[in-house]
Structure 1
Amino acid sequence: MAKLAGKYELVENKNFYEYLLDIGVPEDKAKNAKEIKGTLEVKVDGNKVTLADDHPPRTSDYIIGQEVENKWGDQAVIKSTASLNGDVLTISSSRDGKPAGTRTLTFSDSGLEMAFNTTKDGKAFAASRIYKRI
């Protein structure tokens, strides 16, 4: 099993810009997000998993099996529940009582892949971000 905790550098976006546009992110913000090559730090303390992005600066705490609330860029409250199955951390989120999507972080010894999946107006959208362990 790969170690989850560590620091990761974003090295590749797959369909991320298009995904952001599809889910309603304004084009200028989507373009900016596509250009960022920041880092993500993952901390694990028992059942608590913390994801800390450096750009934009944001820290989100999750407790495996429990619903938590986090604020996102537009200050919307997102409710999320995390589950851990081996090397895979899955975060299922809702906004205003409606499903808002799933992030699946698959860890390996060399890095992680974060897959984004959501549905809007009955249409499915997906993207991923590839990180290397540093």
Structure 2
Amino acid sequence: MSFTGKYELQSQENFEPFMKAIGLPDDQIQKGKDIKSTSEIVQDGKKFKFTVTTGSKVITNEFTLGEEFEFTLPTGQKAKAVFNLEGDNKLVGTMQGMTYVNELNGDIMTSVVTMGDIAYKRVNKRI
């Protein structure tokens, strides 16, 4: 199954506590909490390009499965990360004390980023 496609945010849980935990300023948290975002993913074999657009803010991360790379966080900070594929529909990564699980089921992509006891969940639909 290919992750390639464009996805629109349908719902999210624990946005504010998670963004606060990673150091995003309160004013940016308030601005970002109600803005719908889109994610565009291009998968070419083991290579991935993720582009997340939230309002006027665009963050792009490119990586190859199994290889360490610099991941840009929503704060703009960089973190070392490694992602791998589990099965054909689950992308799992670790970075700076966080785990990231991105699972694709049909046209629904569910992303859960866990840091300590906070799990930030996003549900996106392919558009």
* Range into which the TM-score falls when normalised by the shorter chain: 0.7 to 0.9
Q: Is the 8 A contact 2:24 2:74 kept in 1?
A: no
Change (3 A) 1:75 1:13: closer
Alignment equivalent of 1:125, drawn from 111, 118, 124 = 118
Moved over 6 A (4+): none
Question: For residues 2-41 of structure 1, what are the alpha-carbon distances to aligned partners after superposition, in whole Å with 9 as ceiling and x for unaligned?
Answer: 4311110011111112222244322211122211202101
Deviation at 1:133, TM superposition (A): 0.8
Root-mean-square deviation over aligned CA pairs:
1.6
Correspondences of 1:15-54 after superposition (within 5 Å)? 15-54=14-53
1:111 aligns with 2:95: no
* CA distance in structure 2 between the partners assigned to 1:11 and 1:73 by the alignment: 19
* Alignment partners' CA distance in 2, 1:66 and 1:112: 23
Q: Any conservation in 2 of the 1:10–1:39 contact (CA below 8 Å)? A: yes
User: 2:84 is aligned with what amino acid?
Assistant: S
- TM-score by length of structure 2 reads 0.87
1:90 to 1:38, Cα distance in 2 relative to 1, 3 A: same
Aligned pairs, number: 124
User: C-alpha distance in 1, partners of 2:16/2:65?
Assistant: 29
**Which TM-score applies when normalising by structure 1?**
0.83
Question: Please, which runs of 5 or more residues in structure 1 have no aligned partner?
Answer: none
Aligned residue in 2 for 1:67? 68
Name the counterpart of 2:91.
Answer: 89
Distance 1:46 1:20, change over 3 A: same
In 2, the alpha carbon distance for the partners of 1:39 and 1:116 equals: 17
